[in-house]
A and B are shown apart, each in its own frame.
Chain A
Amino acid sequence: MSSDKPIFPKSEPVTYNLGFLNILLAEDSIPMQTLLASMLRTFGVGDVLVCGGAKEAINLLTITQARRKANDIRGIDMILTDWLMPDGSGVELIEWVRNHKEDDIKFLPIILVSGYTTEKVVKTARDKGANESLVKPISGEKLAHRIISVIDKPRPFIKTATFFGPDRRRKTENFKGNDKRKIKSEEIKVYHEQQ
């Protein structure tokens, strides 16, 4: 009676066509900018908008999302940003995005790409609202994994008095014991977006 077949077979992953995807890349180093843009294009990403810092990224986002609203062009779907850039840092960009009034911008997925990223930088990026972090040296596999993770495993956004961004907890664990949370269940509001 025993069988090696799993009860719920896992379906094989599907190779995504990323041609519909528009990515904004904020990176000040020209060789790194060229490399990352070229890797993204190799993955089949439809459009890669490149800029050298947070200030330029903010301008591009403002213009692009406004034109998208007017059905003029396709909007930006994802942001890849370096951490330290002379013309506005990654943290400035993340803060601007997450504090934006428009849903089109504030919920955009953000991947931090940085060299020699310390745990502190990764934590700060997460606490500012970045979805993923990618530490150099990067590889094709690592970059692809972060992009796919953003597409396939989106986390709900959490808003508290001090934070707005993707849920910082990636796992749900069953906790047995007294509930010591300061926030009571009636203080938690859940918004389900309808299609």
Chain B
Amino acid sequence: MSNNNENDQQNFTKGVEVYRRVNRLKMKITGAEIGPAGQVDANAIAEADEKIKALCRDCPDLLKKCLDQITQDWKKMQKIENGDERKKLVDSIFIAAHEIKDVGSMCGFELLAHFAESLRDYIILTDLSHKAHTVIIQAHVDAMNITLKEKIMAGSSIKAEELKHLVHKAIYKYS
């Protein structure tokens, strides 16, 4: 169907091409391209939901482990000026923050996921080499520790807004 040209997209300058393809997936599953709509077995869906619940039961421990990792890495990092060791710690903080954001958002830890995402995105934007960055990272680490310790789940409570405000203030002042 396509002209198998590597620069297909770049060479295409005018008009519109519409590709109506054979529904291979439906054929593979039902043996025919046309037929009644499908569904996944309801018991399988219920079983899948149980797996989510199981992850969410383990979630606080998992989040604590990641947060401890960030706290430790962050302590070590403040003593190292630069070099490969520092880069490794930045990467480790990034991965732990990313994990908190992923798992936290999955299991209803909205506020923690919010701070983790903010920290992760901050790491993407900076190399954390400037002294002012320490205040911003510290604000995130503190806010996340308080959030987990006080079990603040939703991102919109008064306490949550206060913590968010503190972190935003640090970002605004020291960026």
Residues in A lying within 8 Å of B, measured CB to CB: 11-18, 20-21, 28-32, 35, 38-39, 42-44, 77-78, 82, 84, 86, 99, 101-103, 106-107, 109, 115-116, 136-141, 143-144, 147-148, 150-152, 154, 156-161, 164, 167, 183, 187-195
Contact = CB atoms under 8 A, between A and B. Distances in A.
Contacts of A192: 20
A93 B8 CA distance: 18
Contacts of B24: 77
Interface in B8-27: 8-9, 12-26
Contact of A156 (B20, B44, B46): B20
Contacts of B12: 159-161
Nearest to A31: B103
B113 A193 contact: no
Interface stretch (B49-57, B67-75, B135-143, B156-164): B49-57
Given A154-B25, A157-B19, A161-B13, A136 B1 contact: no
B37 A13 contact: yes
A144 B2 contact: no
B105 A115 contact: yes
A43 B40 contact: yes
Contacts of A32: 102-103, 106
Contact of B15 (A15, A18, A103, A183): A183
B13 to A, nearest CB: 5
A107 B21 contact: yes
B20 A115 contact: no
A187 B12 CA distance: 12
B153 to A, nearest CB: 12
A156 B21 contact: yes
B95 interface: yes
Contact of A154 (B23, B36, B106): B23
Count chain B CB atoms within 10 A of each CB in A12, A138, A161, A195 and give the residue with the most.
A161
Contacts of B15: 160, 183, 187-189
